Amino acid sequence: MPSPVLARAALAPHTTLRLGGPAERLVEARSAREVVDAVRAADRAGEPLLLLGGGSNVVIADAGVPGTALLVRSAGHRIEPDGDGTVLVTVEAGEDWDELVAATVEAGLGGLECLSGIPGSTGATPVQNVGAYGVEVADVLVDVELLDRRTGTISVVAAAALRLGYRTSVLKHRDEAVVLRVRFRLRSDATSAPIRYAELARALGVQPSDRVSAQAAREAVLALRRGKGMVLDAPDHDTWSVGSFFTNPVLPAASISDVPGLPTWPAGPERVKVPAAWLIQNAGFSAGHAGPGGRVGLSSKHVLALTNRGDGSAADLLGLAREVRNGVRTRFGVELTPEPVLVRCAL
């Protein structure tokens, strides 16, 4: 059975921002069965339900949330041969993501190494289609096991049915389906995915599209992320964030053709992806820029991370996010979109 119910329990300690008010009730589920039981109990009672994994991609309102907050703490994974030099890795939704990546690299598997250092739980990765350094979960995802809250049934859904896109899927911003398990197909040759990201290729001293050992790629990615304050470190307030707060805009190529010096990447017919960090910096926001009362601010290492400096509130953070969004809109006419899920709050 799930853990005992805690009344008016703080949620901030369960998020990487350390922000947000309490839950009316807090329950912890340590297995997929307990997740199902807790979700069904909340649905039978007709009460609101918030699922929290690692709390690394969520901003919770200072007023907190009604109903039940469910901490998904199921853990564990299994590896099965799949032929042709690949294996299938089935993972419980509550498994810590970076611990999973580390375990696959140690087991001589390749495919997840460029996603090292990303905080959160494995169950959240297909929802967001987590990606970094040229690799996305979509590249290796086979399927997910879902609980359908409308029917109460459990089924396995193929990756293709999730319509995985840039930091999105059909599961994002919807709560009808709960991820119970995730399955990936990885290589068993201990080599990385092709190195597609120029910064990572430079760090490794290789050419784009080259492969390296999965371990070497993981170490290089972790070093790059630490340099940007993107690896969790409790004493370092630059890491009290949700990582990149805004997604990189995908725009019609003609709409930004007159912006000098703007880096772009192809993103489909007559469309390009532009770096949100460049837009923020060139709209006049520098690393370390302070938000309301200095309680929140841009990371001193990376302008795309909005951080809690220790005594901030969700309202403070959202105020800073609005300032940045409005500044970019005024300067470039581009609307930045927040990447994290905003719970009972909005920009």
User: Could you tell me which residue, 105 or 3, shows the higher pLDDT?
Assistant: 105
| Three-state secondary-structure class, residue 100 | helix
Q: Output the pLDDT for position 198.
A: 93
Q: Give strand ranges (E) for 230-346.
A: 250-252, 265-266, 271-273, 296-298, 306-308, 341-343
Degrees, nearest 5: CA angle 142-73-316: 100
Q: What is the mean pLDDT of the chain?
A: 96
Residue 266, pLDDT > 60, answer yes
Domains of the chain: 6-72 (3.30.43.10), 77-227 (3.30.465.10), 237-343 (3.90.78.10)
**pLDDT score for 156:** 98
What is d(CA 251, CA 87) in angstroms, rounded to the nearest whole number? 37
Give the model's pLDDT for residue 6: 76
**Residue 1 — pLDDT band, cuts 50, 70, 90?**
low
Task: Supply the pLDDT for residue 99.
Answer: 98
Residues 29-39: tens digit of each pLDDT: 999 999 999 99
Give me the percent of the chain exceeding a pLDDT of 70.
99
Tokens of 222: 């972790």
Closest CA to 85 of 110, 119, 55: 110
Neighbouring residues of 163: CB distance < 8 A, sequence distance ≥ 6: 169, 170
Identify the burial level of 330 via C-beta atoms within 10 angstroms of its C-beta, where 0-12 means exposed, 13-18 middle and 19 or more buried.
exposed
pLDDT value, residue 84: 92
Would you state the pLDDT for residue 4?
60
Helix H segments across the chain?
32-45, 97-106, 125-128, 198-204, 214-227, 276-282, 314-332
Q: Mean of the pLDDT values across residues 6-18?
A: 93
Residues 6+ away with beta carbon under 8 Å from 124: 53, 54, 56, 57, 97, 130, 179
| Catalytic positions, written as ranges | 167, 244, 339
Instruction: Supply the pLDDT for residue 3.
Output: 63
Q: Convert the pLDDT of each residue in 93-140 to its tens digit.
A: 999 999 999 999 999 999 999 999 999 999 999 999 999 999 999 999
Res 119: pLDDT: 96
Q: How far apart are CA 193 and CA 114, in angstroms?
A: 8
pLDDT-above-90 percentage for the chain: 94
How many angstroms separate the CA atoms of 209 and 263, rounded? 20
pLDDT surpassing 90 at residue 173: no
pLDDT band at 257 (very low <50, low <70, confident <90, very high): confident
135 beta partners: 132
Neighbours of 152 (CB within 10 A): 12
- The answer on pLDDT for 176 being more than 90 is yes
Q: Kindly state the helix (H) or strand (E) to which residue 29 belongs, with its residue range.
A: strand 22-29
The Cα–Cα gap between 82 and 299 comes to 43
What pTM did the predictor assign?
0.92
| Cα 247 versus chain centre, distance | 11
Average pLDDT value for residue range 51-76: 97
